[in-house]
Amino acid sequence: MESTWPVVAAIDFGTHGTGYAWCEVTEANRDTSQRRLVLRERWPGSGMRYPKNLTALLLDAEGEVTEYGHLARQRWLDLSQDRAHDQYTYVSGFKMALKPDSYQGMSPPGIGARTIDSPRDAYPLVVAYLRYMYGIAMDEIGRSGYLDDQVRWCITIPAIWDEQEKQLMRDAAEEAGLPKDPDRLLLAIEPEVAALHCLIHLTRVLGTQNDVDITADNQRFTVVDCGGGTVDITSYRVNRSGADNRPRLAQIARAAGGKLGSEYINQAFVEEVLGERFGGPEVMARIQQECPHALAAMVDAWESFKVTAEAEIGPDGEPVFQRPVFLPIPGEINELLSEEVKERLAGLPGGAHRLAVQPDECRRLFDSVVISIIELVEEQIQEVREKDGPAGGSERLLLVGGLSAASYLQLRLQNHFGANATLMVPTDPAGAVLLGAAHYGYDPSMIRSRLARYTYGCDSAMAFRPNVDPQTKRWLDHNGKAWCTGRYQIFIRNGDSAELDDMVNHSFSPLDPEQTSLSFTFYRTVPRDPVYVDETAAESIGNLTVQLGDAMSLPLEQRSVRVMFRFGNTEIEVEAVNEHTGEQMTCTLRFDTAY
């Protein structure tokens, strides 16, 4: 349903960049095609229009933030050029460290003095940056006459994030000053909201001027969101079955993705190309420490090439880059190189003062992530066909995110899938997630259903099955009836579809007449049909206790508690109701976020 708050605002918190957009909730804005979203495209320290500021911080010797975004980077480079940066630390890319298994040691390419590689290190930085972004967004919204408590917020998260990372992001946002009310602070799945943006604004078939309308009932497409840190891939079908005939999205395959974002190409450039040319890791560490400003200049030059370089189909039928990229070698770096390295560079294309990255090297750097992206898309399409049947034509791939503009990635996907897939891009692939998140905050019901990522349930006692259940789980009640304890009571299975606010419930009664409360431990597991909660794959995710109170006067079997799982939303909620007294307990399952 539409927001009941006068304003909705979204923060697209990314690995490389972060932006915000907001919108008034008015009668005029109910029409999505005419909805006026306000976003910021000018950021201090940046000379270009772009919907995001750098996700970067400059810390002083005490660890306090002194600058944010582009200004943080510029101040760091100025300090390093003056050899005055020893007491400061520049950090970026720290969002990825909230999910350690996706981190893989990624560090700011060439210019960072500190690697952020754990949730413990990343969490306070996320809080600081969200506090900054919330503050400047609220300043702008406030100038239009709105107060803090009149705004619903939405923060984006990768599709591959698990409940633990979602919990960390919510905790960080609340600590940064955003609302604690879950109805006023929504988490939005990045490829999902990008798809919403494309439902509202036409997309274009890649390489043509032909617009594509993907809002027709039963249309399906796969979103490939290529961001700075992650690539998220999710498939949807458009559903118009509601009374208002509005297009809504139903997820039809489980989200896939991984640590395959644009920043990893930059990291490979620094470690493999510059490291090899300049003499290895020790030399690179010295360059990073003594003249990070010079190294940043080379990374910037490479970044400019990466997003604008044209690729073409080569003689082998595969995409190739047309020409080498020549990058000036700053004098400060040249001074740190050995005479042997200088002599070797002088004999290479580009000479002693320019580094030539050959087309095959560019191809190899891109392929460090592109090959895996293609494999993930292939797996996603295969799963879609298995679950949803043949497409009845070519599959539609919707490319969003900054890396999606790279012609090499586009050609690789076209070359691999051929006539089996139609590639589409929105008019603003870099802003699709941000703008879509604002639309989602305005009306979350635009998402019709999602797929469960796990099998969720709780521990319970069920009738003991001789020769099936282990004797160690056998328990006799006061009437001598045998029960099996620790059974897995399933609420929803991995891969099952859940519509928005779907509620699944089971009733439970105590087995012991002396019990004054019922306590529940909730679990999740990957297998679809777990039997016992102590199976290796089952993970405890929360607890809830309901007092029986006046129900103690009833017969044992009438002292029932109904437990309800609410699925379909970004986060899972649990309610438990004493069916005699009506007392209700509600909790959003908290996951272990210890770091």
Per DSSP, the residues of 14-45 read: -SSEEEEEEEE--SGGGSGGG---EE----TT
Give dist(CA 121, CA 67) in Å, integer: 18
> Can you tell me which residue has the tokens 């905050």?
441
Residue 512: count other Cβ atoms within 10 Å of its Cβ.
Answer: 10
Average pLDDT over residues 33-39: 91
The model's confidence at residue 103, banded by pLDDT at 50, 70 and 90, is: very low
Fold of 452-588: Substrate Binding Domain Of DNAk; Chain A, domain 1 (2.60.34)
Helix (H) or strand (E) holding 367: helix 359-388
- CA angle (102, 107, 113) in 5-degree steps: 145
Residues whose CB is less than 8 angstroms from the CB of residue 134 and which lie 6 or more positions away in sequence, other chains included: 11, 153, 173, 176, 177, 178
- Does the pLDDT of residue 102 top 80, yes or no? no
Domains of the chain by residue range: 452-588
Residues 389-440 have pLDDT tens digits of 888 788 999 999 888 888 999 999 999 999 999 999 887 888 899 999 999 9
Residues 295-326 have pLDDT tens digits of 988 998 998 888 788 899 988 888 999 899 99
Q: Between the CA of residue 254 and those of 48, 235, 251, 504, what are the distances in Å?
A: 37, 8, 8, 20
Average pLDDT over residues 474-489: 94
Helix (H) or strand (E) holding 71: helix 69-81
The model's confidence at residue 106, banded by pLDDT at 50, 70 and 90, is: very low
Taking Cα atoms as reference points, which of 106, 424, 440 lies closest to residue 262?
A: 106
Average pLDDT over residues 58-85: 90
The length of the chain, given as a count of residues = 595
> Can you tell me which residue has the tokens 């974002």?
261
Tell me what percent of the residues of the chain surpass a pLDDT of 70: 94
Taking Cα atoms as reference points, which of 27, 209, 39 lies closest to residue 136?
A: 39
- Which range, of 93-102, 477-486, 512-521, averages the lowest pLDDT? 93-102
Please give the pLDDT value at position 113. 53
- Which range, of 18-22, 42-46, 133-137, 575-579, averages the lowest pLDDT? 575-579
- The distance in angstroms from the start CA to the end CA of the chain is 36
DSSP string, 327-343: EE--HHHHHHS-HHHHH
The model's confidence at residue 59, banded by pLDDT at 50, 70 and 90, is: very high
Please give the pLDDT value at position 543. 81
Please give the pLDDT value at position 593. 54
Give dist(CA 206, CA 197) in Å, integer: 17
Average pLDDT over residues 132-138: 97
> Can you tell me which residue has the tokens 């100038």?
143
